[in-house]
Amino acid sequence: MGAQWKAKGKEIAANAKGRLFSRLAKDIMVAARAGADPAGNSKLRLVLEQARKVSMPKDTIDRAIKKGSGVGGDAVHFDHVIYEGFAPHRVPVMVECLTDNVNRTAPEMRVLFRKGQLGSSGSVSWDFDHVGMIEAEPAQAGADPEVAAIEAGAQDFEAANEDGVTLFITEHADLDIVSRALPAQGFTVLTAKLGYRPKNPIDPASLAAADLEEVESFLAAIDANDDVQNVFVGLRS
């Protein structure tokens, strides 16, 4: 599962494509507030690269940039809100939201956390590191993630998952630098964002099958909320 929870299964992933585009559009709008030109806005450039890799329509991208930068008077403002707490069986969770109405999102989160426990600010974040997270896959045979991490300046990496994707961990300020350096080390960057990595992840094997299913169900319900951008969970990969 890793630091960021993702729904499992190809069918679920396919059904989530529209939600992915919606979340990317929000990320683009927020990034574009610092400038509509990706050449001078590294955060926007990273999000645009991710959007293009998932074949997000160009008109949707352009519309999001205009809304975020306020071009044409059609500006949209989103608040960035973090909710902290526990999934069932005391699994720590951090939920990152972008919302145009906190008064709508807050009660929705309270309802969703009823099957777990919603905490106050700082109740869970102390057990996570705020880091850069870069998902990348080998672009050539023999590409070594350990060598790539060292040469590109990454802080750490997690071995490739079943899809062959390696997670490179960077210092908060080094996300853009490392994502630019990885292609020269034989890796294609798929996503690059700031996120939360658990310091003391729980081993899923320590949970009974029924308990783990309860956790998965809770996380899926959280992730399905329209205001949720990312869900970070303290479970070991």
Whether residue 11 is predicted with pLDDT greater than 60 in this model: the reply is: no
pLDDT band at 7 (very low <50, low <70, confident <90, very high): low
CA distances from 59 to 25, 38, 56, 63, 224 (A): 11, 16, 9, 6, 25
Q: Average model confidence (pLDDT) for the chain?
A: 89
Within the chain, all domains assigned CATH 3.30.70.980 are found at: 79-126+200-233, 128-198
Q: What is the CATH number of domain 79-126+200-233?
A: 3.30.70.980
Q: What is the CATH number of domain 128-198?
A: 3.30.70.980
Backbone angles phi, psi at 172, to 5 degrees: -50, -45
Residue (of 91, 124, 80, 123) closest to 218 by Cα position: 91
pLDDT band at 10 (very low <50, low <70, confident <90, very high): very low
For 86-106, the pLDDT digits (tens) are: 999 999 999 999 999 999 999
For 23-57, the pLDDT digits (tens) are: 999 999 999 988 889 888 888 988 998 898 888 99
For 151-183, the pLDDT digits (tens) are: 999 999 998 777 788 999 999 899 999 999 999
pLDDT band at 3 (very low <50, low <70, confident <90, very high): low
Within the chain, all domains assigned CATH 1.10.10.200 are found at: 10-73
**Hey, which CATH number is domain 10-73, 1.10.10.200, 1.10.3720.10, 3.30.1490.440, 3.40.50.150?**
1.10.10.200
